[in-house]
Amino acid sequence: MTQTTHHVEPNSAGGWRVKKGGAKRATRHFATKKEAETFGRQVSFNQKTELVIHRRDGSVQQQ
């Protein structure tokens, strides 16, 4: 069984987004990374998925 993921990543239009792994559209957009992380942790906990947090350059900061 593969582990489903949620990603906190920079949005190309500015700000941050939370996106389910493999999805084309973001679940939600945020102005700050901290807000996105808080929401991402909640969604990840509720859906029992792995949370991957990215840096501004797109590289993985924390998994």
Question: Domain segments of the chain: what residues?
Answer: 5-57
Q: How far is CA 50 from the centre of its chain?
A: 10
Phi-psi domain of 14 (left: phi exceeds 0; alpha: psi -120 through 50; beta: other): left
Mean pLDDT of 47-62: 90
Closest CA to 40 of 57, 61, 13: 61
In sign, the C-alpha dihedral spanning 44, 47, 48, 49 is negative
Give the pLDDT confidence of 27-54 residue by residue, as tens digits.
999 999 999 999 999 999 999 999 999 9
For residue 1, pLDDT over 50 is answered with no
